[in-house]
Amino acid sequence: MIVVLKNPVSESKREELIAWLRSKQLQVHLSEGHYHTVLGLVGDTSRIDTDMLEGLEIVEKVQRISEPFKKANRKFHEDDTVITVGNTQIGGSGFALMAGPCSVESREQLTEVAFAVQKAGATVLRGGAFKPRTSPYAFQGLRGDGIDLLQEAKKETGLPIVTEIMNAEHLPLFENVDIIQVGARNMQNFELLKELGHTDKPILLKRGLANTVSELLMSAEYIMAGGNENAILCERGIRTFETCTRNTLDLSAVAVLKELSHLPVIVDPSHATGVAKYVKPMALAAVAAGADGLMIEVHNDPAHALCDGPQSLTPEQFAELAVSIRKVREALV
Ligand code: PEP
Ligand code: MN
């Protein structure tokens, strides 16, 4: 349920109302927007008399939120959520350009790619240390050593890092990771989401291969319900009957998510298309569609990459793309 307060509202009356709502065992989230102050109520609101609330001098209107996601709901929080990571803002007017190899393979590879993407304008360095591979015989990632290498690259470049977690037991290894990624295959690993909800790290939550927008939002809700409001949504393509691309990039999800939720939305055109030459057009389309950022796979030697070489851009291709992204963003203003 949301309670929209009159503008302006006296702070003491507002605090009195919040205290009363809390005494009814409700969690109260205060959101002060440009035009309105909104109280988001979570818990059993069935016993709250909405007419009585609406009759209060400081209340403009009361609305029940019919959607099952509450904290991720834009009705709950009118303004875009902005998550600050290093010098980068994700959401709002900021644009996050996350780039790096699919997998961390070696110090040389990561350092070369990290400096190259930074020079081109990337704001976050990506790299998989724990890799969810279809085959148990495929490269599984450098695991803890991969995270150490990411930390070294972070120190050298100053770029914040994002890397995937597959098991909550690995959380201690992620202490110095700036953004924890939950991959598509774990989007509905609810126990993992609950654990991440108890951290204060930004969580990049990728949409599952066969999951709806509502299910993505409900997974974000799991993280937020635990107290971690720093969820970032990521559209990375879904399974369809199409075989020319690895997945089908659902760009309409960007517009829908931006309407339904205040959380930042990132697009990953690398996994969505699976083909390096399609990454640029889809990346630019995502910018035009209103994405708050992109995640792009970049490798210094795609032909010999241990994972996802065919969809990886070279540093030169990435630098070209970054210029075009800036132009599209300028055109949108
Ligand atoms: C990745 O980002 O490396 C990855 C495995 O992505 P996804 O979970 O979207 O397949
Ligand atoms: Mn990959």
Q: Look-up: residue for tokens 């319900």?
A: 225
Determine the Cα–Cα distance for residues 236 and 234; give it in Å rounded to an integer: 6
Q: List the one residue out of 288, 298, 294 whose CA is nearest residue 333.
A: 288
**Residue 35's pLDDT is what?**
82
Per CATH, domain 2-63 is 3.10.20.70: no
**Residue 47's pLDDT is what?**
85
Q: Which atom of ligand 1 is nearest to the CA of 185?
A: 8
**249 CA distance to ligand 1 centroid (A)?**
14
Nearest residue (by CA) to ligand 1, atom 6, is: 183
* Residue ranges near ligand 2 (ion) with Cβ within 5 Å: 102, 308
Q: How far is CA 160 from CA 9, 97, 127, 209, in A?
A: 39, 11, 11, 27
For the domain 83-332, what is the CATH superfamily, name and number?
Aldolase class I (3.20.20.70)
**Residue 86's pLDDT is what?**
87
**Residue 46's pLDDT is what?**
87
Q: Which tokens belong to 10?
A: 């006296």
Q: List the one residue out of 158, 159, 211, 225 whose CA is nearest residue 183.
A: 211
**Residue 221's pLDDT is what?**
97
70, 41 in Cβ contact below 8 A?
no
**164 CA distance to ligand 1 centroid (A)?**
8
Determine the Cα–Cα distance for residues 289 and 184; give it in Å rounded to an integer: 21
**Residue 223's pLDDT is what?**
98
Q: Where in the chain is the domain with CATH 3.20.20.70?
A: 83-332
Supply the Cα-derived Rg of the chain in whole angstroms. 21
Determine the Cα–Cα distance for residues 285 and 325; give it in Å rounded to an integer: 10
Q: Which atom of ligand 1 is nearest to the CA of 268?
A: 9
Mean pLDDT, the chain cut into blocks of 10 residues (333 residues total): 92 95 94 87 90 95 92 94 94 96 98 98 98 97 98 98 98 98 98 98 98 98 97 98 98 98 98 98 98 98 98 98 98 91
Q: Where in the chain is the domain with CATH 3.30.70.1140?
A: 2-63
Nearest residue (by CA) to ligand 1, atom 4, is: 183
| Ligand 1 site, CB within 6 A | 102, 128, 132, 183-185, 206, 236, 268, 271
The pTM assigned to this predicted structure is 0.95
What's the one-letter identity of residue 92?
A: G
**38 CA distance to ligand 1 centroid (A)?**
36
To test the pocket of ligand 1, the residue of 271, 296, 297 to mutate (highest count of ligand atoms within 8 Å of its CB) is 271
Euclidean distance between the first and the last CA atom of the chain, given in angstroms as a whole number: 34
Q: Look-up: residue for tokens 């635990």?
A: 226
CB hemisphere CA count around 163 (13 angstroms): 34
**Residue 34's pLDDT is what?**
79
Q: How far is CA 257 from CA 1, 74, 80, 151, 173, in A?
A: 20, 9, 11, 32, 31
Q: Which atom of ligand 1 is nearest to the CA of 181?
A: 2
Q: Which atom of ligand 1 is nearest to the CA of 207?
A: 9
What does the CA dihedral 105, 107, 299, 96 come to, rounded to 10 degrees? 110
Q: Which tokens belong to 185?
A: 């295959």
